[in-house]
């Protein structure tokens, strides 16, 4: 069964702690993306990767970091430098590049207090 | 600046009616266009993609693209209460870096009244 998995579904952290969100896909897609969604708003691009060992900043990369060591995996770290980390985080993948359809994982809801 | 604009709604239609959702975009060079459905608390689900001018039909859904006027729309025929959700328009847009990325509108909330 092909798809994108994200874990955990809910995550609670104290302010000042780094946290890593997992994203795995078995669709054999080259490109992977991380978005952030705040209540009542659209999706904003944090980072994307079109190939292993390469990634690019999106619109709101400050306070976040990523790695792409394997085609299937694209973890996102929310660092203590991110001023407003509480949000719904969505991982997506596509065959190659933004021209193509992107498919989303179920999301991780992060709450930082 | 890349922009994708949608009316936030809510758009309320009776069950069985046609729901019409609209989206305008600013980047004339955009080449691919998508509609996603997002239920409350869930992740977006791709329902339509369109790449060339005209209409594309898939079941009860029809996407319409007019590149000259820079708008894309989604029609939902025979609307059902289960169609009640937020519909996100996404457009492949040119970034300042010279790369292309998907830009999302803030979504239109659709309510289908039984």
Which of A32, A91, A98 is most worth mutating to test chain B (most B CB atoms within 10 A of its CB)?
A98
Per-chain mean pLDDT for chain A: 93
Residue A93, pLDDT > 80, answer yes
Query: What's the pLDDT score for residue A41?
Result: 80
d(CA B39, CA B86): 6
Determine whether the interchain pair A99/B92 forms a contact, defined as Cβ–Cβ distance below 8 Å.
yes
Q: Which residues of B touch A (CB under 8 A)?
A: 4, 8, 31-32, 34, 36, 42-46, 49, 88, 90, 92, 97, 99-102, 104-107
B89: helix, strand or coil: strand
In chain A, which residues have their Cβ closer than 8 Å to the Cβ of B100?
97-99
Sorting pLDDT into bands at 50, 70 and 90, what band is A100? confident
In the stretch 77-96 of chain A, residues with CB closer than 8 A to chain B read 90
> Which pLDDT value is given to residue B94?
81
Nearest-CA neighbor of A51 among A96, A21, A20? Answer: A96
pLDDT-above-90 percentage for chain B: 88
The contacts of residue B57 (CB under 8 Å, 6+ apart) are none
Report d(CA A64, CA B45) in Å as an integer. Answer: 25
> What DSSP assignment string belongs to B2-39?
--EE-----EEEETTSPEEEEEEES-TT---EEEEEE-
- For residue B5, the chain A residue with the least C-alpha distance is A42
Q: What's the confidence (pLDDT) of residue B99?
A: 78
Q: Does A56 touch chain B (CB under 8 A)?
A: yes
Strands B108-113 and B11-14: parallel
Cβ pair A90, A105 in contact under 8 A? yes
Q: Is there a contact between A99 and B31 if contact means CB atoms under 8 Å apart?
A: yes
Q: Which two tokens stand for residue B110?
A: 């659709």
3-state secondary structure of B86: strand
Q: Name the band, by pLDDT with cuts 50, 70 and 90, for residue B100.
A: confident
Any B CB within 8 A of A42 CB = yes
Q: In whole angstroms, what is the distance from residue A80 CA to residue B102 CA?
A: 27
Closest Cβ–Cβ partner in A97, A99, A106 for B43: A106
Assigned token pair, B14: 């009776």
Residues of B in contact with A100 (CB under 8 A): 32
Residue among A5, A58, A32 at smallest CA distance from B103: A58
Give the integer Cα–Cα distance in Å for A34 and B61: 28
How much is the average pLDDT of A74-85? 94
Task: Compute the count of residue pairs across chains A and B with CB atoms less than 8 Å apart.
Answer: 53
CB B25 within 8 A of CB B70: yes
How far is Cα A98 from Cα A109, in angstroms, rounded to an integer? 24
- Among B32, B46, B104, whose Cβ lies nearest the Cβ of A43? B104
Percent of chain A with pLDDT over 90: 84
The secondary structure element, H or E, covering residue A35 is strand A31-37
Q: What pLDDT, in 10s, does the model give residues B51-78?
A: 999 999 999 999 999 999 999 999 999 9
Q: Residue A1 has what pLDDT?
A: 61
Residue B1 has a pLDDT of 58
């Amino acid at each position: 069964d092909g798809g994108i998995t994200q874990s955990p579904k809910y995550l609670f952290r104290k302010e000042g702690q780094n946290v890593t969100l997992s994203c795995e896909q078995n669709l054999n897609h080259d490109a992977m993306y991380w978005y952030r969604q705040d209540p009542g708003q659209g999706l904003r691009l944090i980072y994307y990767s079109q190939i292993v060992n390469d990634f690019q900043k999106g619109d709101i990369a400050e306070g976040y970091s990523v790695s792409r060591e394997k085609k299937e995996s694209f973890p996102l770290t929310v660092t203590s430098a991110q001023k407003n980390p509480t949000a719904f985080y969505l991982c997506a993948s596509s065959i190659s590049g933004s021209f193509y359809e992107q498919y989303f994982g179920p999301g991780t809801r992060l709450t930082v207090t | 600046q890349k922009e994708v604009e949608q009316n936030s709604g809510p758009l309320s239609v009776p069950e069985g009616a046609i729901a019409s959702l609209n989206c305008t975009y600013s980047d004339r060079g955009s080449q691919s266009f998508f509609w996603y459905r997002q239920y409350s608390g869930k992740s977006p689900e791709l329902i339509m993609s369109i790449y060339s001018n005209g209409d594309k039909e898939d079941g009860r859904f029809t996407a319409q693209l007019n590149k000259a006027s820079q708008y894309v729309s989604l029609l939902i025929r025979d609307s059902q209460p289960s169609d009640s959700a937020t519909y996100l328009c996404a457009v492949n847009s040119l970034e300042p870096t010279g790369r292309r990325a998907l830009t999302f509108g803030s979504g239109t909330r659709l309510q289908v009244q039984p």
